[in-house]
Amino acid sequence: MKPVITLLLALVCLVFLALSGGRDWLSPTEVWRGLWDTDDFVIQVLRLPRTALAVAAGLALGLAGALMQGLTRNPLATPDVIGLVQGASLGHIVALGLGTSVFLGETVGAAVALFAVITLARNQGPIAFVLYGIGVGATASAATTVILLRAPDATISQMMLWLSGSLARADLTTASMLLGGVGCAMFVVLCRARDLRTLWLGDDVMTGLGVNLTVLRFTVLGLVTLLTAAATLAVGPIGFLAFTAAPLARAVTGAEPPALFPAALMGACLLTAADLAARLIAPLVTLPTGLIMTLIGAPYLIFFLWSEKRKTA
């Protein structure tokens, strides 16, 4: 419980900073007054929707990453590394072109990418799983680019902003719906908490404890797919967030793997901090939050690979 409380307090502080910070800094009194004043433009229109959406999407991607890492027992096997985010983005573009449900398109895109990786990498080990995932993600990204090049100029400019991972068009309705979805996912996690705590112990131990592996795997894969699709729909493809959330949560709090709730809270902290940084670095332009998250996550990936190599040297 202590790791969760620690990260929850950190998230509350970051939310307050996100509401206060920007081109014009607000005092605590002004922030508190703005939260209750529906006519306050800065808080109610500019900052509160972005902050709420950052928290919701960060929770979703942090939880999805920890679930996938726990299921595969592979720290690199997360939705943003193995192609699920890219598959969801391709599904988004295809659904727009066909005039169908965008969320359905993203869910199908993420599910197809996941199925492709599992099928291609079956019985070939964790390294092959990640490499096939990178290949599937690159293929989906290339297909997305090809489709966009055939779209009208106005559509291209709008979609390029979304593809960069932007919270500029956030609204409270979207944030509320995503928070509701995350809440449902966390309820499922709580219901299966006993089984999920055994993810890192291995199939033989889990079977000995009476865990139904087939049901658990489908439950986890379903949650990962839906969380990834919902978060990508709301904020666009955010790279490295799902990958970094769980290991950073364990490092900061000392939580035991798979550390699902600490990972979710760390994801919310990271995305809220990245969005605040995007607004502070370039207050007069729309700097994509996904770019800031990449600047955080990519060096961490390099450090992670370097540290793993030192352990095996």
Q: Is residue 171 part of a domain?
A: yes
Residue 267 lies in a domain: yes
Asked if residue 157 is part of any domain, the answer here is no
Contact 65, 242 (CB under 8 A): yes
CATH code, 303: 1.10.3470.10
pLDDT reported for residue 19? 95
The range of the structural domain enclosing residue 13 comes to 2-79+166-312
In a domain, 88, yes or no: no
Sign of dihedral through CA atoms 271, 262, 173, 38? Answer: negative
Residue-wise pLDDT for 197-252, tens only, equals 888 887 888 888 888 888 999 999 999 999 999 999 999 999 999 999 999 998 88
CA distance 263 to 86: 21
| Nearest CA-CA partner of 243 in 290, 304, 197, 309 | 304
| CA–CA gap between residue 30 and residue 44 (Å, rounded) | 12
In a domain, 135, yes or no: no
**Rounded CA gap, 250 and 93, in Å?**
35
The dihedral built from the CA positions of residue 40, 287, 75 and 301, taken in this order, carries a sign that is negative
Q: What is the pLDDT of residue 264?
A: 96
- The tens digit of pLDDT for each residue in 281-312 reads 877 777 889 999 999 999 998 888 888 777 76
User: Does the residue 205 lie in any domain?
Assistant: yes
Q: Residue 313 has what pLDDT?
A: 60
In a domain, 51, yes or no: yes
Number of domains in the chain: 1
pTM metric for this prediction:
0.95
| 101 domain residue, yes or no | no
Residues of the chain with pLDDT under 70: 1, 312-313
